[in-house]
């Protein structure tokens, strides 16, 4: 059969279906679908024809009939890209959801179009697919539905970027249910993990740790700083640092010099001024009883570079320097922080979130 003749017959079929009574259209669609799907061996050789015939028959079909076709095609597993696309893009969830959730023949572009333009039920169906690309996962997350966030977090076949985890962990600061789901994942970047544990308290933190692995729980358990009262006299350092600040000499290289030469009083006051935090708070963070992650947050709040922060970590008074592996993890924490959240945390401590 020539292509032109075939296309003319498809047009005639479509015209006949439009003029056909509604109950007859449904019957024809049902019988054609059954005819093709019952004889799988023959159907495989005629997929292109079946695809176009189904698209033609589906255009005037009712939502109920389309939902039946959708479920039949999912059960068949046949590659019918045009019919599957039409069903997946349908606005009624009863039609689109079976295809979106189960069909392995939908293209990435079709899935992204649905993720960008359809509503919650469609997005939930995509979120439960056994494999989700990073781009598709990001698209779903940015639509903002909390149920979709939970579904993606549960789905270990969803590839999440560092940016995706950043968004989800930020939401989890006020969402204990999402925090618990994130706690069960083992692929959270170490910097973001340490940031969450350093900055979040109360219910979300408890929920996260309840679901977390023993390794993550061990990290959290060693992050309970002891309160230390310093006997150091900072009055001389405060006068010197104030003059450096007045003359514009309180900068990254100056703070780095204080760290390398272990001028602890001057370093303490310099970090306090640069981060707008109390001197006592910085003194505690520089002590050997402190939580090192909180010190990294203070360094970020001070607007210094990571190289200077690393010098401070290596030269704390009475402390063993961190290993290269530990420094790498702390570097990820440093880079994951925004200036505003670091400043808020170092000034007021971890915020209790409900």
Q: What is the pLDDT of residues 42-79, one digit of tens each?
A: 555 567 777 877 887 787 788 998 998 899 889 888 88
Same domain, 208 and 256: no
Same domain, 240 and 348: yes
Cα dihedral sign, 75-79-84-88: positive
Q: How many CB atoms lie within 10 A of CB 104?
A: 10
Same domain, 61 and 87: yes
CA distance 218 to 197: 11
109-148 confidence digits (pLDDT tens) = 999 999 999 999 999 999 999 999 999 999 999 998 999 9
* pLDDT tops 90 at residue 292: no
Q: Could you tell me the pLDDT band of residue 230, with boundaries at 50, 70 and 90?
A: low
* 85 within a domain of the structure (yes/no): yes
Domain extent for 213: 160-221
Helix (H, G, I), strand (E, B) or coil at 286: coil
The domain boundary, picked from 56, 76, 104, lies at 104
Greater model confidence, 254 or 37: 254
How is residue 174 written in tokens? 């006020």
Same domain, 186 and 242: no
Say how many domains are in the chain.
3
Same domain, 326 and 239: yes
The domain boundary, picked from 181, 197, 221, lies at 221
Same domain, 243 and 340: yes
Same domain, 275 and 240: yes
Q: How far apart are the first and last CA of the chain?
A: 68
Asked if 324 and 279 touch (Cβ cutoff 8 Å), the reply is: no
* pLDDT tops 90 at residue 240: yes
* 141 within a domain of the structure (yes/no): no
Same domain, 175 and 273: no
* 15 within a domain of the structure (yes/no): yes
CA distance 36 to 279: 78
Same domain, 199 and 241: no
Same domain, 171 and 240: no
* 132 within a domain of the structure (yes/no): no
CA distance 163 to 138: 8
* 323 within a domain of the structure (yes/no): yes
């Amino acid at each position: 059969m020539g292509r032109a003749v075939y296309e003319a017959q498809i047009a005639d079929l479509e015209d006949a279906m439009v003029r056909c009574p509604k109950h007859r259209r449904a019957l024809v669609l049902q019988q054609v679908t059954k005819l093709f799907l019952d004889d799988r061996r023959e159907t495989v050789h005629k997929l292109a024809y079946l695809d176009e015939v189904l698209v033609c028959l589906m255009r005037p079909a009712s939502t109920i009939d389309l939902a039946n076709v959708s479920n039949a095609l999912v059960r068949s597993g046949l590659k019918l890209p045009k019919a599957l696309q039409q069903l997946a893009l349908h606005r009624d969830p009863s039609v689109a959801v079976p295809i979106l959730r189960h069909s392995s023949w939908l293209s990435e572009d079709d899935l992204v179009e649905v993720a960008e333009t359809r509503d919650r039920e469609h997005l939930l169906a995509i979120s439960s697919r056994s494999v989700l690309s990073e781009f598709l996962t990001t698209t779903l997350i940015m639509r903002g539905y909390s149920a979709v966030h939970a579904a993606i977090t549960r789905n270990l076949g969803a590839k999440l970027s560092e940016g995706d985890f950043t968004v989800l962990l930020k939401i989890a600061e006020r969402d204990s249910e999402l925090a618990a789901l994130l706690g069960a994942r083992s692929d959270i970047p170490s910097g973001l993990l340490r940031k969450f544990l350093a900055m979040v308290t109360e219910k979300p933190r408890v929920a996260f740790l309840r679901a977390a692995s023993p390794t993550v729980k061990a990290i959290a358990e060693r992050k309970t700083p002891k309160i230390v009262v310093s006997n150091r006299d900072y009055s001389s350092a405060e006068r010197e640092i104030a003059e450096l600040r007045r003359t514009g000499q309180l900068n990254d290289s100056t703070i780095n010099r204080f760290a390398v030469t272990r001028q602890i009083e001057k370093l303490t006051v310099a970090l306090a001024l640069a981060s707008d935090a109390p001197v006592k708070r910085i003194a505690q963070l520089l002590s050997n009883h402190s939580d090192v992650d909180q010190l990294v947050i203070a360094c970020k709040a001070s607007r210094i570079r990571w190289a200077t922060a690393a010098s401070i970590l290596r030269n704390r008074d009475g402390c063993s320097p961190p290993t290269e592996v530990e420094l790498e993890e702390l570097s990820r924490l440093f880079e994951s922080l925004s200036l505003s959240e670091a400043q808020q945390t170092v000034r007021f401590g971890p915020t209790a979130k409900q």
